[in-house]
């Protein structure tokens, strides 16, 4: 959902840098030769992979030859646009005979659904097997959010966390300097800054973000979490009509009606990015992956003027709503060991470094993020890297981990969007809540 | 056949398989396989709690009982009816008007007619994307045009109150030519004598249109309305590409909701129930129109006699 655009040029630059680095740093060895798994053991196996279209898929397909050279495993992969990829995956997995061995999944949408369906193979055993797992790949290397996403409630590891998406604050340095405003550290400061930066006569606005139903939930939850909201109580009841949600929605409503461009209720990330990258809006809260297009002179008018910061703090805390994707193995696959080698390669240090350096995603592995050499290869501004690292410290899952995530996003999202045309936050949330609760009950009982 | 049997029962012939059956069977198989079976299967699915990835259970009519208590569905029905009414009435009015104009003789008529039906040939999704840009509140050309007349900027598809009329505008723009083509066919079938006598009697242009043209083309207008109605009720591409049912759920028609339920929420059973109700709704609407047409036809012949 978040990172679908990435200019080829930046990707190439990043990858070339990564290639140069690894060639220089590690000689010709394809992976650190600490204690290598038996890469060649499954040579000749053929694997099918279903990927979601985007920078992760690109990075995978671009370098897959290295994996085949390393292992002798032949990989057939397919990139399908996200929505269709999710449909295809669900239908095929439900049929019990998926056409793929390895599947790229969006945790924030599919985690519970995949777990309930029992569609993913348990990787815990493979992780402990030195014949299969490189010694540098340990569970503790993944960030807490990543492990939370990858493990089910019995503690089994069902996928490898691949790439994380934090929400960060993008701001237009030039506009801030002109009005002599400091970068907001809290929501209060952010609203005040947005007010000062809004000048409808000149066509410039203080804030922009997703207003479109469903898409808006990923933004809204940043407010919700920082007002102290929790999605589910101990009994698994949904809590999105409580006082925290109402306060969060009030802020959302204020920012998007008073200080945002007209028509924002129809904006997804694309329209928001258009407004921000044309210098029409001063602040934008969205996923961390948009830096490459914002720094691309052919797509953006504000190259070099973009500031990056963490999501400002709310009255009850400071969190960055976190989303992410992983790579797992279909439980029905007959080539699980070979598939595990492939998943391992996809989240390897080298592939992760390439992804980060191109700005196409942020690996869940701390050993990659904390590696100075990797960091110095990042072509994007240092502030961006810093915002990523700081966000990792305050990351919190951005959507409730339930099966009907899509319904949740549609129903509560519609209520939140309705406040943009004058709906009362408390009343709208209550209506949405009453519609969603029976759906959640129905899905959890079965 | 029953008449024959009662009139003169054949003395000794036993019933035999009619010789035309071998020719009918292939068609029957095709109809049964691609129309009847999916239809029955949909009804069967609609009586199950059927979610992708979960075991199915028979629930009888529970999915149907859930429908009237689902505010999103009730709203969707309202949106569908509003949207359909508007996008039948407007193209019919404009299309009839355009047909009357294009029926006159003037230079380049053929070329201009061709130009006029161009919107109909465009792909709906492409049309929708272009209109989305035109609707843009800040950069769109529609608000620019309004500003030339000193009118305030509109939010078009970005406000719940104006989203359905704005979508109908696209629908009207695209499908007025279809109505025009049908009505034009009707116009060219009208003989010229009634007009000559009307002119001698001193009728003006409006009177000729109202009392001669309109009654004679009414059957064609009905056909056009019927086609438009069926199209509008099932309209999906334009709405989905422009608003995806938004803002909020202000333009969510039954069709869009059905899509979400079945293919986004994977609730196949409930989705099937919506599909069945939707189908019934279309049949009822079509029946009402047919009934109206018959009544009008009867009036016409009655008036003429």
Kindly write down the DSSP assignment for every residue of chain B, as one continuous string.
-HHHHHHS--SSPPP---TTHHHHHHHHHHHIIIIIHHHHHHHHHHTEE-BTTS--EE-TTHHHHHHHH-HHHHHHHHHHHHHHHHHHHHHHHHHHHHHHHHHS--TTHHHHHHHHTHHHHS-HHHHHHHHHHHH-TTT-HHHHHHHHTTPPP--GGGSTTTHHHHHHHHHHHHHHHHHHHHHHHHHHTS-SHHHHHHHHTT--HHHHIIIIIHHHHHHHHHHHHHHHHHHHHT--HHHHHHTTT-STTTT--HHHHHHIIIIIS-BHHHHHHHHHHHHHHHHHHHHHHHHHHHHHHHHHHHHH-
Residue A327 and residue A312 in one domain: no
Question: Quick one: residue B153, left, alpha or beta (phi over 0 = left, psi -120 to 50 = alpha)?
Answer: beta
The answer to whether residue A278 is domain-embedded is yes
Residue A241 and residue A313 in one domain: yes
**Minimal C-alpha gap between A72 and chain B (Å):** 34
Q: Are B114 and B171 in contact (CB under 8 A)?
A: no
Q: A211, B244: Cβ pair inside 8 Å?
A: no
B interface test, pick of A263, A430, A431 with most B CB neighbours within 10 Å: A263
pLDDT higher than threshold 90 for residue B29 = yes
207-266 in B: which are within 8 Å (CB) of A? Answer: 243-249, 260, 263-266
CB contact, 8 Å: B61 with chain A?
Answer: no
Task: Give contacts of B156 with chain A, Cβ < 8 Å.
Answer: 263
Task: Give contacts of B248 with chain A, Cβ < 8 Å.
Answer: 213, 265, 414-415, 417-418, 421
Q: Which among A51, A49, A1, A88 has a CA at the least distance from the CA of A323?
A: A1
What is the CATH number for A369? 3.40.190.10
Range of the domain at A39: 8-165+323-388
Residue ending a domain, among A340, A356, A388, is A388
Q: How many CB atoms lie within 10 A of CB B202?
A: 7
Q: For A224-250, b where at least 16 C-beta lie within 10 A, e where not — what string? A: bbbbbbebeeeeeebebbbebbbbbbb
pLDDT at residue B138 in the model:
78
B170 band by pLDDT with thresholds 50, 70 and 90: very high
Residue A28 and residue A123 in one domain: yes
pLDDT at residue B290 in the model:
84
Residue A21 and residue A47 in one domain: yes
Q: B52, A90: Cβ pair inside 8 Å?
A: yes
Task: Give contacts of B265 with chain A, Cβ < 8 Å.
Answer: 404, 406-407
Residue A159 and residue A171 in one domain: no
pLDDT higher than threshold 80 for residue A167 = yes
Q: What is the mean pLDDT of residues A381-388?
A: 91
Q: A415, B248: Cβ pair inside 8 Å?
A: yes
Q: Are A131 and A35 in contact (CB under 8 A)?
A: no
CA distances from A115 to A112, A141, A327 (A): 5, 23, 14
The answer to whether residue A31 is domain-embedded is yes
Q: Which among B147, B129, B128 has a CA at the least distance from the CA of B138?
A: B147
Task: Give contacts of A415 with chain B, Cβ < 8 Å.
Answer: 248
Q: What is the mean pLDDT of residues B250-257?
A: 92
Task: Give contacts of B155 with chain A, Cβ < 8 Å.
Answer: 262-263
CB contact, 8 Å: B53 with chain A?
Answer: yes
Domains of chain B: 2-58 (no CATH), 63-304 (1.10.3720.10)
pLDDT at residue A20 in the model:
43
Q: Are A167 and A320 in contact (CB under 8 A)?
A: yes
Q: Which among A97, A146, A90, A99 has a CA at the least distance from the CA of A117?
A: A90
Task: Give contacts of A263 with chain B, Cβ < 8 Å.
Answer: 136-138, 155-156, 158
Euclidean distance between CA atoms A268 and A83, whole angstroms: 15
Q: Which two tokens stand for residue A10?
A: 């930046």
pLDDT at residue A27 in the model:
41
Give the chain B residue nearest A203 (alpha carbons).
Answer: B138
Residue A152 and residue A37 in one domain: yes
Q: What is the mean pLDDT of residues B114-139?
A: 89
**Pick from A14-28, A111-125, A140-154, B163-177: least confident:** A14-28
Q: A327-375, pLDDT tens digit by residue?
A: 999 999 999 999 999 999 999 999 999 999 988 889 999 899 888 889 8
pLDDT at residue A29 in the model:
44
pLDDT higher than threshold 80 for residue A36 = no
Task: Give contacts of A213 with chain B, Cβ < 8 Å.
Answer: 244-249
Q: What is the DSSP string of A233-288?
A: -TT--B-TTSHHHHHHHHHHHHHHHHSS-TTGGG--HHHHHHHHHTT-EEEEEEEG
Residue A117 and residue A44 in one domain: yes
Taken in order A246, A248, A251, A256, the sign of the CA dihedral is negative
What values do phi and psi take at A15, rounded to 5?
A: -70, -40
Residue A201 and residue A102 in one domain: no
pLDDT at residue A233 in the model:
87
The answer to whether residue A177 is domain-embedded is yes
pLDDT higher than threshold 70 for residue B214 = yes
pLDDT higher than threshold 80 for residue B167 = yes
Residue A129 and residue A273 in one domain: no
Euclidean distance between CA atoms B133 and B242, whole angstroms: 9
pLDDT higher than threshold 60 for residue B121 = yes
* CA-based max dimension of chain A: 68
pLDDT higher than threshold 90 for residue B136 = no
pLDDT higher than threshold 70 for residue A202 = yes
Give the chain A residue nearest B71 (alpha carbons).
Answer: A435
Task: Give contacts of B257 with chain A, Cβ < 8 Å.
Answer: none
B304 band by pLDDT with thresholds 50, 70 and 90: very low
A interface test, pick of B159, B246, B270 with most A CB neighbours within 10 Å: B246
Q: What is the mean pLDDT of residues A280-307?
A: 92
Taken in order A300, A283, A281, A248, the sign of the CA dihedral is positive
- Considering CB atoms only, which of A87, A411, A414 is closest to B263? A87
B180 band by pLDDT with thresholds 50, 70 and 90: very high
Higher pLDDT, A121 or A1: A121
The answer to whether residue A373 is domain-embedded is yes
- What lies within 8 Å, CB to CB, of B172 at 6+ separation is B87, B90, B91, B94
pLDDT higher than threshold 90 for residue A187 = yes
B248 band by pLDDT with thresholds 50, 70 and 90: confident
pLDDT at residue B264 in the model:
86
What values do phi and psi take at A185, rounded to 5?
A: -105, -20
| Complex prediction ipTM | 0.74
Euclidean distance between CA atoms A358 and B29, whole angstroms: 57
pLDDT at residue A15 in the model:
47
- What lies within 8 Å, CB to CB, of B217 at 6+ separation is B96, B99, B183, B186, B187, B190
Q: Which among B120, B134, B220, B125 has a CA at the least distance from the CA of B178?
A: B120
Q: Are A168 and A320 in contact (CB under 8 A)?
A: yes
CB contact, 8 Å: B51 with chain A?
Answer: yes
Q: Are A355 and A56 in contact (CB under 8 A)?
A: yes
Q: How many CB atoms lie within 10 A of CB A19?
A: 13
Q: Which among A288, A276, A307 has a CA at the least distance from the CA of A209?
A: A276
What pTM, to 2 d.p., does this model score? 0.80
Q: pLDDT averaged over chain B?
A: 87
pLDDT at residue A28 in the model:
44
Structural domains in chain A (count): 2
Q: What is the mean pLDDT of residues A276-305?
A: 92
Strand, helix or coil at A320? strand
CB contact, 8 Å: B97 with chain A?
Answer: no
Residue A338 and residue A309 in one domain: no
Q: A265, B247: Cβ pair inside 8 Å?
A: yes
Q: Which among B204, B140, B195 has a CA at the least distance from the CA of B166?
A: B140
Q: Which among B185, B203, B187 has a CA at the least distance from the CA of B195?
A: B203
Q: What is the mean pLDDT of residues A97-109?
A: 93
Q: What is the mean pLDDT of residues B143-170?
A: 90
120-179 in B: which are within 8 Å (CB) of A? Answer: 136-138, 153, 155-161
pLDDT at residue B219 in the model:
87
- What lies within 8 Å, CB to CB, of A121 at 6+ separation is A158, A328, A329, A330, A331, A333, A336, A339
**Pick from A31-35, A141-145, A158-162, B230-234: least confident:** A31-35
Residue A411 and residue A302 in one domain: yes
Higher pLDDT, A14 or B264: B264
CB contact, 8 Å: B67 with chain A?
Answer: no
pLDDT at residue B299 in the model:
53
CB pairs below 8 Å between A and B: how many?
85
CA distances from B34 to B38, B40, B281 (A): 6, 11, 21
pLDDT higher than threshold 60 for residue A388 = yes
pLDDT higher than threshold 60 for residue A155 = yes
pLDDT at residue B12 in the model:
67
Residue A101 and residue A28 in one domain: yes
Q: A9-34, pLDDT tens digit by residue?
A: 544 454 444 444 444 444 444 444 45
Measure the N-to-C terminal CA separation of chain B; round to a whole number of Å: 35
pLDDT at residue B52 in the model:
78
Q: Which two tokens stand for residue B125?
A: 């999704």
The answer to whether residue A26 is domain-embedded is yes
CA dihedral of A144, A145, A149, A153, whole degrees rounded to 10: 50
Task: Give contacts of A87 with chain B, Cβ < 8 Å.
Answer: 263
Q: What is the DSSP string of A357-418?
A: HHTS-EESBHHHHT-HHHHHT--S-HHHHHHHHHHHHTEEESS--SS-HHHHHHHHHHHHHH
Task: Give contacts of B160 with chain A, Cβ < 8 Å.
Answer: 418, 421
pLDDT at residue B21 in the model:
85
pLDDT at residue B8 in the model:
58
**Minimal C-alpha gap between A421 and chain B (Å):** 7
């Amino acid at each position: 959902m978040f990172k679908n655009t990435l200019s080829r040029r930046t990707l190439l630059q990043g990858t070339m840098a990564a290639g140069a680095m690894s060639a220089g740093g590690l000689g010709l060895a394809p992976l650190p030769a600490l204690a290598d798994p038996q890469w060649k053991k499954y040579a000749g196996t053929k694997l099918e992979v279903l990927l979601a279209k985007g920078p992760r898929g690109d990075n995978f397909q671009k370098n897959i030859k290295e994996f085949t050279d390393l292992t002798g495993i032949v990989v057939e992969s397919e990139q399908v646009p996200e929505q269709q990829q999710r449909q295809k995956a669900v239908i095929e997995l439900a049929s019990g005979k998926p056409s793929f061995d390895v599947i790229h999944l969006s945790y924030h949408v599919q985690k519970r659904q995949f777990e309930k369906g029992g569609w993913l193979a348990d990787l815990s055993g493979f992780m402990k097997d030195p014949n299969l797992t490189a010694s540098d790949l340990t569970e503790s290397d993944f960030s807490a959010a990543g492990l939370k996403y990858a493990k089910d409630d019995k503690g089994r590891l069902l996928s490898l966390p691949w790439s994380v998406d934090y929400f960060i604050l993008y701001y237009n340095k030039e506009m801030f300097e002109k009005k002599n405003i400091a970068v907001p550290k809290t929501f209060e400061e952010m609203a005040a800054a947005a007010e000062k930066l809004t000048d409808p006569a000149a066509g410039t606005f203080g804030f922009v973000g997703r207003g479109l139903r469903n898409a808006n939930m990923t933004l809204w939850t940043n407010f919700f979490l920082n007002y102290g909201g929790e999605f589910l109580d101990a009994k698994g009841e949904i809590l999105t009509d409580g006082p925290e949600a109402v306060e969060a929605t009030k802020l959302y409503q204020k920012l998007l009606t008073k200080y945002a461009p007209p028509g924002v209720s129809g904006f997804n990330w694309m329209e928001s990015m258009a407004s921000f990258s044309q210098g029409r809006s001063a602040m934008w809260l969205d996923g961390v992956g948009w830096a490459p297009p914002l720094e691309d002179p052919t797509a953006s008018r504000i190259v070099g003027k973009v500031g990056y910061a963490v999501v400002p703090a709310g009255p009850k805390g400071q969190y960055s709503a976190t989303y992410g994707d992983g790579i797992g193995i279909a439980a029905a696959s007959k080539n699980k060991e070979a598939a595990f080698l492939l998943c391992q390669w996809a989240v390897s240090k080298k592939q992760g470094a390439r992804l980060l350096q191109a700005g196409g995603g942020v690996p869940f592995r701390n050993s990659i993020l904390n590696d100075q050499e990797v960091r110095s290869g990042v072509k994007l501004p240092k502030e961006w890297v810093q915002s990523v690292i700081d966000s990792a410290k305050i990351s919190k899952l951005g959507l409730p981990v339930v099966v009907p995530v899509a319904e949740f996003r549609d129903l509560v999202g519609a209520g939140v969007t309705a406040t943009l045309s004058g709906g009362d936050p408390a009343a709208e949330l209550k209506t949405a809540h009453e519609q969603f609760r029976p759906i959640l009950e129905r899905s959890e009982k079965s | 056949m029953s008449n024959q049997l009662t009139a003169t029962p054949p003395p000794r012939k036993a019933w035999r398989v009619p010789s035309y059956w071998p020719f009918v069977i292939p068609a029957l198989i095709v109809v049964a396989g691609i129309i009847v079976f999916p239809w029955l299967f949909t009804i069967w699915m609609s009586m199950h709690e059927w979610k992708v990835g979960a075991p199915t259970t028979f629930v009888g009519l529970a999915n149907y009982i859930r429908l009237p208590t689902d505010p999103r569905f009730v709203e969707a029905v309202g949106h569908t009816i509003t949207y359909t009414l508007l996008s039948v009435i407007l193209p019919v009015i404009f299309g009839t008007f355009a047909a009357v104009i294009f029926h006159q003789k003037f230079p380049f008529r053929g070329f201009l007619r061709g130009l006029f039906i161009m919107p109909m040939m465009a792909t709906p999704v492409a049309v929708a994307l272009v209109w989305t840009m035109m609707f843009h509140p800040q950069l769109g050309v529609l608000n620019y045009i309004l500003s030339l007349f000193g009118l305030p900027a509109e939010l078009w598809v970005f406000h719940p109150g104006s989203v359905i009329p704005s979508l109908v505008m696209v629908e009207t723009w695209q499908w007025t030519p279809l109505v025009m083509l049908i009505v034009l066919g009707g116009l060219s079938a009208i003989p010229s004598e009634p007009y000559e006598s009307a002119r001698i009697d001193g009728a003006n242009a409006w009177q000729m249109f109202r009392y001669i043209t309109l009654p004679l083309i009414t059957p064609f207008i009905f056909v056009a309305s019927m086609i438009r109605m069926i199209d509008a009720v099932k309209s999906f591409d334009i709405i989905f590409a422009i608003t995806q049912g938004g803002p909020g759920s202000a333009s969510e028609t039954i069709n869009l909701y059905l899509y979400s339920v079945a293919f986004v929420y994977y609730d196949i059973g409930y989705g099937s129930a919506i599909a069945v109700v939707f189908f019934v709704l279309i049949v009822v609407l079509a029946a009402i129109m047919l009934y109206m047409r018959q009544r009008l036809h009867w009036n016409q012949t009655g008036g003429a006699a």
